[in-house]
Amino acid sequence: MTDLTIRSATLADNADVARLCWAYRDLLLERSHAFPHVLASYLDQPTYRDLIQDLPRIHARPTGDILLASFGNEVVGCAMYYPLATPGVTEIKRVYVDTEIRGSGAGRALVGAAIAAARKDGYSRMVLDTITPLTQAIALHEQMGFAPCDPFYEVDPTHDQYLRFYDYPL
């Protein structure tokens, strides 16, 4: 699939960004059936709806970005990053690729593009958190050089066993 493109989202892409984020939420809920209490506090519908509406502000240039992967004219994936309070540190969020596209290299391309963009933006470190059942995502990040790290925010002790934290030096 050589017609994969990665680009920054525009306001015209808000519907595609929302669709991908809702699909990502569904995946998280599906994969976390053994520990629904962990994600319930983060992913209730009203809170998540508000978050999606605020993504263009949260990930606004010049300190962040929403990246989209497309095959032809079809938007098939996303990745986002934004600054954390620690200078030089950015967090990559909501890396998601549509089910039928997984295995195509789109996820790797999105993460690679986010790394390159964050480096260009002057960040020195990229971090992420994920849940243990997202084994494909964990494998991808580790293959790309992300290493386990300590949590970069305060974690509820009842959630600790389900969360993994990674960083990548830029």
Angle value at C-alpha 101, between 59 and 132, nearest 5 degrees? 65
User: Which pLDDT value is given to residue 70?
Assistant: 97
Helix (DSSP H) and strand (DSSP E) numbers for the chain: 5, 7
Report how far Cα 48 is from the mean position of its chain's Cα atoms. Answer: 14
Strand partners, 127: 91, 167
Q: Which of 50, 34, 42 is nearest to 161 (CA)?
A: 34
Q: Which of 110, 90, 114, 89 is nearest to 101 (CA)?
A: 110
Residue position matching structure tokens 């540190």? 89
pLDDT tens across the length of the chain (170 residues): 469 999 999 999 999 999 999 999 999 888 887 766 666 666 778 889 999 999 999 999 999 999 999 999 999 999 999 999 999 999 999 999 999 999 899 999 999 999 999 999 999 999 999 999 999 999 999 999 999 999 999 988 887 888 999 999 99
User: Which pLDDT value is given to residue 38?
Assistant: 62
Model's pTM, two decimal places?
Answer: 0.93
